[in-house]
Amino acid sequence: MSDPRTGARFDALPPETVYAHAPEPMAESAALLRLDTLLRTGEAGPDRVRERFLRLAALSDRLALMAAEAPAGRTATPAEAERDAVGDACQLAAWDRRHPDQVAGPYGPDSEWDSPRSYVRQEYQTWMSKNGAWKASS
C-alpha cells in the first residue's frame, strides 16, 4: 500500500507480530462480553464503543486466520470467517471515518489498504502498545 501523504510504499505488520501478545481468543471474547455490558448499562463512553469495534474486528481477524489452518468441520469455513473479519473491519473503518480523532495509527481507514483487515492490524497494534497487552480485560 502507499503512504497517502508521500506516495511511498509501506506494509502493514504481519498478524503474527500484531497478535503476538494479544489475549487468547476465549479471554478476548470474555472481555468483549464485559465491555458489551458496560456499554449497555451506560457505564462506558464513546472511546469504549470504538474499543469494542476494534477488539471485535481483531478477534474476527484472528479467527479467520485460525479457520484458514483448521481441519474442515472444526470451525467456520475459511470463507465464512473471512467474510466476518472483513465485515467487522469495515465497521471499525466506518466508525473511524465518523470519528477521525479516535484513529490511533499513522494511516486512516481511507488509506490504500490491501484489505480492511490490514487497517485493523495497524489499529490493534497501536492500541496494544498504548494500553499494554492486558488493559484489555477491563
Q: Which of 18-22, 43-47, 86-90, 119-123 has the lowest mean pLDDT?
A: 43-47
| Identity at 2, one-letter amino acid code | S
Between 122 and 71, the higher pLDDT residue = 122
Helix (H, G, I), strand (E, B) or coil at 117: helix
15 with 5: CB under 8 angstroms? no
Q: What's the predicted TM-score (pTM) here?
A: 0.84
pLDDT given at position 45: 85
**Amino acid of residue 41:** T
Q: Number of C-alpha atoms within 13 angstroms, CB side, residue 26?
A: 0
Give residue-wise pLDDT tens across range 66-77. 988 877 766 678
